[in-house]
Amino acid sequence: MTEAPDRGAGELVADPGDPETQRAARSFGSVASVYRQVRPGYPHDAVEWLVGDARRVLDLGAGTGKLSEALVALDRSVIAVDPVEEMLEELEIAVPGVPRILGTAEDIPIEDASVDAVVVGQAWHWFMPERAVPEIARVLRPGGVLGLVWNSRDTSVDWLREAGEIMHERHDASATFETYVKVGSPFGPIEEHTVAWTNPMSHEGFLDLVRSRSYFIEAGEAEQAATIAALETLFATHPELAGAETLEVPYLTRCFRTRLD
C-alpha cells in the first residue's frame, strides 16, 4: 500500500478503489471475532435518527452486525450485506435471523426498490462512490433514506489524543466528515446529527480495539509489540488514567442522512 493511510474507526482512505485498499478492507476477516467483541455499538438515539420511519433497512458493509443489532432493537426488518464471509459469520452470532448476503456496495445483490433505507456504519470510506451511489439508489424505494454513521473517539480528550498518536491516527475524522460526506445526485441535501456518549472499557479491551484496526493488522510484529507497550505505558503514567481499572472512552457518533430525490 502506498504510504498506507491509517484506517481505524471512522478514518478516511485515500482511494477506496485501489487494490491494496480493497485488500486492507478484507483483512478484517482475520480478526472478525475480536472486532465483534471490542468495537463499540451505536447509541439508540443516533440510529433512530438515522433511519427515521423506515421499516425495511439494508445494512451495507454490515461487518459483524453492530449496526444491524441496533436496528433489530428498534424493531426494523434488516438485511445485511458485506464482502467478508468471516464478518457475516460473526453477524449471525450477534443477530441470528438477519438475512446475510455476500456482496459489495458497488454490486448489491438485492432487487430494485426493495428497501426503505440503506445504512452504512464505519464503511462509507471503503466504497467507490461513483459506483456505490447509483447502486444504493437502485435498491432504495422512492424517497428512501441513505444514512451514514461513524463512531469517532473524541480526541479533544488529552489521553485519547496521545493514544491516537501512538496508534498512528493521522486524521481527526470527526473534524473532516462534513467535507468528506458528499453523496450527490440522485440524492438530496445531507442532514447531520451528533450524539456524544462514553464507552467504559478495560485496559485489555482498549488494546483489543487497537488490534482490530487495519493499520495494526498490517504492521509487522515488532511494530505491533511497540504500539501495545507504548499504550500500556500511557495507561500506567497518564494522570487521568494512572490507577484506574476502567477507561472511560468518550465517543462522538456522527450521523449523516439524505433522501433519494
Does the domain at 19-150+171-196+251-259 match CATH 1.20.140.10? Answer given as no
Lowest-confidence region among 28-42, 122-136, 170-184 = 28-42
Among 80, 186, 82, 184, residue whose Cα is nearest residue 137: 186
Mean local confidence (pLDDT), 117-123: 95
Domain boundaries, the chain: 19-150+171-196+251-259
- Edge-first strand listing for the sheet containing 246-259: 100-102, 77-82, 56-60, 115-121, 140-153, 246-259, 191-202
Report phi then psi at 24, rounded to 5. Answer: -65, -40
DSSP symbols for 173-237: HHHHHHHH----TTB-PPEEEEEEEEEEEEHHHHHHHHHTSHHHHHS-HHHHHHHHHHHHHHHHH
- β-strands 56-60, 246-259 pairing: unpaired
pLDDT, tens only, 138-178: 999 999 999 999 998 898 899 999 999 998 875 555 455 66
Mean local confidence (pLDDT), 1-5: 28
| pTM of the full structure | 0.78
Mean local confidence (pLDDT), 110-124: 96
pLDDT at 42: 94
pLDDT at 82: 94
Lowest-confidence region among 48-52, 100-104, 205-209 = 205-209
pLDDT at 166: 93
